């Protein structure tokens, strides 16, 4: 390929294939480009029904003919494949006569659009149900926004609702309704119009699963409008609210300037904006009522619609299948919709209600909607949950099917093959699949291409499909360049790949033959990280080579784009690759294919021959006392051991790019290191550091992270959660709005950084020079450790007693108490068993929690959702990797020194080791560590109350059961009771027959427990309690362990049956007595006497 290659596809075919909305394209393109969705997480009440984590298993489970109900949620970030999976289910859903399947698209993202689709897709017989649903106002867009704002204003007025909302007191105090009635607010505030535009689909941008809720942007705009009115007379009733909003908006604007999103601020730093967030909550809690008034749609109307549709389908023996791409399209009525979806046909109301048909629903939901808008009671009624991603460090979820680079390449090559085949061949293929051969593979023009061998050797391939014009390495670099958090949304999704990578690169195929590919459009838009774009990605030496070898600025830019993605932009060397040469890891054949000049040398660069610098272990902070400065290189070294310094960082070998060959390691170019040394010296003089982002990364990754972080006095996980890469900053004109861990231009820092550069750059320095620089580097490490320790002490409050907190102890004791309460380990078990209960996965509880006292249940419920995360983090804090390689391969030891002591102390007295007050923690404290302290505080308060309350409850139940038994055995007493009830009910069948039948059922359910010996256990328990043989209240663990072993479920159920049986006999007594009295002289006196004697004896009257 000595000349530029031409494209093997048409521009229109590329545009046809890259539809970013899964429900827009036709079935042929959809199926031809489909990549199986798998490896997702599952949850929900019936999530275990999925045989495996694949789309086929989802389809098989949900479409099973015998299934009567399912409320399945597909959770994932926008663009992660929710719509794709839902459409795949629609395309592949078994076409039987029973199912009425409705696929509802996101459409324009509006509620009216969603209702229109529902009306269009239902059978015509249901059209009349929509006649009075959705009668909108005749007002224009501005008019509807005014109606929306007016309704919101009215609902904020105290006394508006028949049942007051929880925030009515706040509304009375701050008078938000008075603020919204101000003329300036009604005419200038755009917040209501924005919300209405999202719900009506009238915005010019795609909604992209955005929730139509008020946020800090809206409040900041409102505060700016109201600020001039703060001192005016008309604003007097709401002056305090305006004052607080204006004050908080100053901080909001500063955070927005640092690229914080409104949602991230509200979530991570909610304590900074209390009034703004309360106002937002008040507006959003009334939004649905206001929007329904504007759109003319009522919540009850939607419920009635679904009820009537299901009743009609039930009469026809049908099952309704609803596939909803995006729940946000239904905002304003989403609660009512979910009410309709979670209603199980088997859960009928009164007998007068008509039956409804079974309902299978699948709904797409973003994590933000799931956690912030979906009520907990709805989450509990999800039958099947599919989670397409997991949370990442960016705060958003990733996409399971894109984690593996091989899956990403498979995703791309399916689109490449379909694009090359074109629409006609794809349509023909689908007809073949549906009529002749269901196993026929999608067309792949590469199999018959005459350029196949050469193309594959240069660009590579995957499963017989060529990567051209990409390479495997280029695809990886493009994907890694996508932002993982762009103001609350991630581009590292299937939609992001289509929009930001495939479409810009492939929709102008004529550029290849013209020799102008890749053009500037491949980096357009906001999808890419700026440090990965060609303007910043190339090393300075590489960029200099481009400028020296290529004259035309346009071609320089094109070469930089190729090197940024198809090569390793940090390299500038020429190496041997296969049968030719490569520059920066990019084959010379690729230069030819793109019509680019060769800018490498004509022979491979020789490898460096100098010996590597010595590798010295990182010193522990307490092993390096502060010492005097080291002697100059030409002076005699001081006696004593040599100072320790961190291991010198080295570049890891680059991964193979196109052919899979190993590439040799490289070092940073000397000019760049010299520039860095100049930057250090300028920083010392001016306090301004250039390339600040690079220096922040270097100091954190190559210096701070090389400290022995365990020696700072806290677990490494806590240290790295507080001092994160984002929180360590080399000082350079910072405004101090956030409490960073700041590295200032002090002498020890400057000397240490200069030493770092010198040891990497100067290969011929003397041993004295090496010793001098190593000393300065070690001194910097020692000082940095001291600074880090002081920084941590500012953010981690000291517990009572003044000693540093031991998070391992608190984590372990919280989990140990939970294990005791669940009965999975006894407080008197050996220490090793206790440690296993803390560290290993939680088994099913061995005591019936539902029969325990309220404090017992409250404490367990408080830790239910977090216990797995707490246990995982505890294991991470205890892990000791045997080496860096061992850490990667999960080969670790366990540091059980703190854990063992904490467990032993807790077993002894049930007292928690000192821990910080959660209220005194700063916002830098990770949420899980704060939550554990809150749980420890709650546990410390509840433990004695649990012992006392559970003991009192046990005494009351035992005494009640003993009193009813009257020294009789449980089995004998119940048998006599059953015999008496049976005898009377046989003679008087019309007397309370339902109550008698219910008691008989209750009694019958006890049969297995009776056979297992439960009555004997309870009789022994009664004797122990009545004889005062319960353990004392102290030590608390012993008492708690004894209570946990009590068969509380058996006690409750036998007590209940005995009480209800006694109640039944009392109700039977009067009719039986009357019957005996009426029968006097009509029967055998001895028979009458026997019946009366039995009645009196069992009922307690004889």
First to last CA, the chain: 110
pLDDT at 500 over 90: yes
- Rounded Cα gap, residues 889 and 40, in angstroms: 23
Among 1067, 1055, 1073, smallest CA distance to 995 is for: 1067
**Residue written as tokens 């023909």?**
428
Domain 41-135+296-388 falls in which CATH fold?
Answer: Rossmann fold (3.40.50)
Q: What is this structure's pTM? A: 0.55
Could you report the per-residue pLDDT of 990-1023, keeping only the tens digit for each? 889 898 898 898 888 888 888 888 888 888 888 8
pLDDT at 423 over 50: yes
**DSSP state, residue 498:** I
**Segment among 45-59, 86-100, 801-815, 886-900 with least mean pLDDT:** 886-900
Six-digit token string for 920: 């005194």
Q: Where in the chain is the domain with CATH 3.40.50.300?
A: 41-135+296-388
Could you report the per-residue pLDDT of 863-904, keeping only the tens digit for each? 898 899 999 999 988 887 655 554 445 545 667 888 999 999
* Count of other CB atoms within 10 angstroms of residue 231: 10
Could you report the per-residue pLDDT of 636-670, keeping only the tens digit for each? 333 333 333 344 333 333 333 333 333 333 333 34
Torsion angle of C-alpha atoms 150, 156, 158, 162, degrees rounded to 10 = 90
Of 363 and 966, the one with more pLDDT: 363
Q: State which H helix or E strand residue 1081 sits in.
A: none
pLDDT at 259 over 60: yes
pLDDT at 1053: 87
Strands 892-894 and 879-881: antiparallel
Could you report the per-residue pLDDT of 163-219, keeping only the tens digit for each? 999 999 999 999 999 999 999 999 999 998 888 877 766 555 554 556 778 999 999
Helix (H, G, I), strand (E, B) or coil at 1014: helix
pLDDT at 474: 96
Could you report the per-residue pLDDT of 580-612, keeping only the tens digit for each? 999 999 999 999 999 999 999 998 875 443 444
Phi, psi of 419 (to 5 degrees): -65, -40
For the chain, what percent of residues have pLDDT higher than 90? 36
Strand partners, 461: 466
CB 683 within 8 A of CB 601: no
Strand residue runs (E) in 112-160: none
pLDDT at 735: 46
pLDDT at 893: 67
Could you report the per-residue pLDDT of 779-815, keeping only the tens digit for each? 999 999 999 999 998 888 889 888 889 999 999 999 9
pLDDT at 628: 36
pLDDT at 655: 36
Give the mean model confidence (pLDDT) for residues 748-774: 77
CB 212 within 8 A of CB 199: yes
CA atoms within 13 A on the CB side of 1077: 6
Split at pLDDT 50, 70, 90, the class of 145 is confident
Average per-residue pLDDT in the chain? 82
CB 67 within 8 A of CB 197: no
CB 129 within 8 A of CB 308: yes
pLDDT at 768 over 50: yes
Helix (H, G, I), strand (E, B) or coil at 208: coil
Six-digit token string for 826: 């006894």
Could you report the per-residue pLDDT of 1024-1057, keeping only the tens digit for each? 888 888 888 778 888 888 888 888 888 888 889 8
Strands 99-104 and 41-43: unpaired
For 517-584, the DSSP string reads: -S-GGGG-SS-B-GGGSHHHHS-HHHHHHHHHH---HHHHHHHHHHHHHHS-TT---EEEETTEEEET
Where is mean pLDDT largest: 890-899, 970-979, 1070-1079?
970-979
CB 768 within 8 A of CB 634: yes
Could you report the per-residue pLDDT of 929-961, keeping only the tens digit for each? 999 999 999 988 888 888 888 888 888 888 888
- Rounded Cα gap, residues 717 and 714, in angstroms: 8
Split at pLDDT 50, 70, 90, the class of 1084 is low
Prior bond of 469 cis (ω within 30°): yes
CB 160 within 8 A of CB 71: no
Q: State which H helix or E strand residue 752 sits in.
A: helix 747-761
């Amino acid at each position: 390929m000595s000349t530029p290659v031409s494209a093997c596809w048409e521009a229109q075919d590329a545009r046809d294939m890259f539809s970013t909305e899964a429900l827009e394209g036709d079935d042929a393109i959809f199926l031809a480009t489909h990549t199986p969705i798998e490896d997702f997480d599952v949850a929900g009440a019936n999530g275990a029904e999925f045989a495996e984590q694949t789309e086929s298993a989802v389809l098989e489970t949900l479409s099973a003919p015998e299934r009567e109900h399912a409320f399945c949620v597909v959770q994932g970030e926008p663009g992660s494949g929710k719509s794709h999976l839902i459409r795949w289910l629609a395309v592949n859903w078994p076409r039987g006569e029973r199912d009425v399947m409705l696929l509802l698209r996101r459409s324009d993202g509006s509620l009216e659009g969603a209702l229109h689709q529902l009306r269009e897709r239902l059978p015509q017989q249901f059209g009349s149900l929509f006649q009075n649903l959705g009668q909108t106002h005749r007002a224009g867009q501005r008019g509807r926004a005014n109606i929306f704002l007016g309704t919101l204003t009215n609902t904020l007025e105290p006394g508006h609702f028949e049942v007051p909302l929880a925030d009515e007191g706040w509304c009375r105090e701050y008078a938000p309704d008075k603020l919204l009635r101000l003329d300036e607010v009604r005419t200038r505030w755009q917040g209501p119009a924005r919300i209405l535009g999202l719900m009506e689909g009238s915005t010019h941008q795609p909604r992209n699963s955005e929730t139509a809720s008020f946020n800090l942007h809206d409040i900041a705009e409102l505060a700016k409008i109201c600020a001039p009115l703060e001192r005016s007379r008309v604003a007097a009733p709401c002056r305090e609210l305006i004052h607080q909003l204006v004050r908080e908006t100053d901080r909001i604007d500063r955070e927005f300037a640092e690229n914080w999103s409104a949602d991230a601020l509200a979530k991570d730093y909610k304590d900074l904006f209390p009034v703004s967030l309360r106002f937002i909550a008040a507006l959003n809690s009334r939004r649905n009522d206001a929007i329904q008034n504007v759109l003319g749609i009522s919540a009850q109307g939607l419920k009635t619609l679904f009820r009537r549709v299901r009743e009609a389908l039930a009469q026809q023996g049908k099952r309704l299948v609803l596939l909803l791409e995006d729940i946000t399209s239904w905002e304003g009525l989403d609660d009512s919709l979910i009410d309709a979806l979670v209603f199980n046909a088997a859960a009928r109301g009164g007998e007068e209600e008509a039956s409804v048909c079974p309902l299978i629903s699948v709904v797409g939901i973003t994590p933000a909607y799931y956690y912030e808008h979906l009520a907990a009671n709805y989450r509990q009624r999800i039958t099947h949950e599919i989670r397409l991603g997991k949370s990442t460090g960016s705060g958003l979820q990733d996409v399971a099917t894109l984690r593996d680079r091989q899956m990403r390449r498979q995703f791309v090559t399916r689109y490449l093959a379909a694009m090359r085949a074109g629409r006609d061949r794809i349509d023909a293929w689908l007809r073949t699949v549906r009529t002749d051969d269901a196993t026929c593979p999608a067309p792949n023009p590469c199999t018959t291409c005459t350029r196949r061998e050469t193309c594959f050797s240069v660009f590579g391939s995957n499963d017989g499909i060529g990567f051209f014009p990409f390479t495997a390495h280029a695809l990886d670099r493009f994907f890694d360049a996508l932002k993982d958090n762009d103001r609350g949304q991630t581009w590292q999704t299937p939609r992001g790949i289509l929009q930001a990578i495939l479409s810009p690169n492939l929709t102008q195929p004529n550029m290849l033959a013209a020799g102008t590919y890749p053009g500037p459009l491949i980096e357009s838009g906001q999808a890419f990280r700026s440090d990965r774009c060609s303007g910043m990605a190339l090393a300075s030496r590489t960029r200099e080579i481009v400028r020296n070898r290529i004259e035309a600025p346009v071609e320089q830019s094109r070469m930089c784009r190729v090197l940024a993605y198809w090569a390793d932009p940090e390299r500038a060397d020429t190496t041997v690759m296969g049968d030719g040469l490569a520059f920066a890891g990019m084959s010379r054949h690729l230069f030819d294919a793109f019509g680019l000049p060769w800018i490498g040398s004509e022979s491979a660069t020789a490898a460096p021959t100098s010996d590597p610098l010595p590798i010295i272990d990182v010193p522990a902070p307490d092993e390096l006392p502060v010492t005097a400065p080291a002697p100059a290189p030409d002076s005699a070294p001081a006696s004593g051991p040599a100072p320790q310094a961190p291991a010198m960082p080295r570049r890891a070998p680059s991964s193979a790019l196109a052919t899979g060959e190993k590439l040799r390691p490289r070092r940073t170019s000397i000019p760049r290191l010299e520039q860095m040394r100049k930057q250090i010296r300028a920083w010392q003089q001016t306090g301004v550091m250039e390339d600040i982002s690079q220096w922040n990364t270097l100091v954190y990754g190559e210096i701070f992270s090389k400290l022995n972080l365990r020696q700072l006095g806290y677990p490494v996980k806590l240290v790295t959660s507080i001092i994160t890469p984002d929180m360590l900053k080399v000082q350079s004109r910072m405004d101090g709005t956030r409490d960073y861990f700041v590295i200032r231009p002090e002498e020890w820092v400057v000397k240490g950084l200069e030493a770092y550069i010198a040891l990497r750059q100067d290969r011929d320095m003397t041993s004295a020079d090496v010793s001098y620089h190593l000393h300065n580097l070690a001194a910097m490490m020692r000082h940095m450790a001291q600074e880090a320790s002081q920084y941590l002490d500012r953010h981690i409050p000291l517990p009572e007693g003044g000693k540093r907190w031991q998070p391992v102890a608190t984590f372990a004791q919280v989990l140990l108490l939970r294990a005791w309460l669940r009965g999975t380990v006894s407080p008197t078990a050996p220490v090793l068993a206790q440690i296993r209960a803390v560290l290993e996965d939680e088994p099913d509880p061995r005591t019936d929690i539902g029969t325990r006292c309220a404090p017992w249940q409250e404490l367990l419920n408080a830790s239910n959702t977090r216990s797995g995360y707490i246990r995982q983090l505890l294991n991470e804090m205890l892990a000791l990797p045997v080496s860096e390689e061992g850490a990667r391969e999960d080969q670790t030891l366990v540091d059980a020194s703190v854990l063992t002591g904490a467990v032993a102390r807790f077993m002894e007295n049930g007292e928690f080791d000192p821990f910080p007050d959660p209220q005194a923690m700063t916002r830098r404290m990770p949420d899980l560590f704060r939550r554990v302290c809150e749980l420890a505080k709650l546990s410390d308060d509840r433990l004695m109350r649990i012992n006392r309350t559970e003991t009192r409850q046990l005494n009351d139940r035992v005494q009640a059961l003993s009193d009813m038994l009257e020294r009789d055995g449980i089995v004998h007493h119940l048998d006599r009771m059953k015999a008496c009830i049976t005898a009377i009910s046989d003679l008087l069948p019309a007397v309370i027959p339902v109550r008698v039948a219910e008691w008989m059922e209750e009694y019958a359910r006890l049969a297995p427990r009776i056979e297992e010996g439960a009555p004997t256990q309870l009789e022994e328990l009664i004797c122990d309690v009545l004889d005062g043989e319960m353990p004392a209240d102290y030590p608390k663990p012993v008492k708690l362990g004894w209570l946990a072993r009590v068969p509380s479920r058996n006690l409750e159920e036998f007590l209940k049956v005995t009480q209800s049986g006694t109640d039944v006999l009392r109700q039977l007594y009067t009719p039986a007595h009357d019957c005996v009295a009426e029968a006097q002289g009509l029967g055998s006196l001895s028979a009458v006497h026997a019946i009366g004697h039995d009645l009196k004896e069992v009922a307690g009257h004889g």
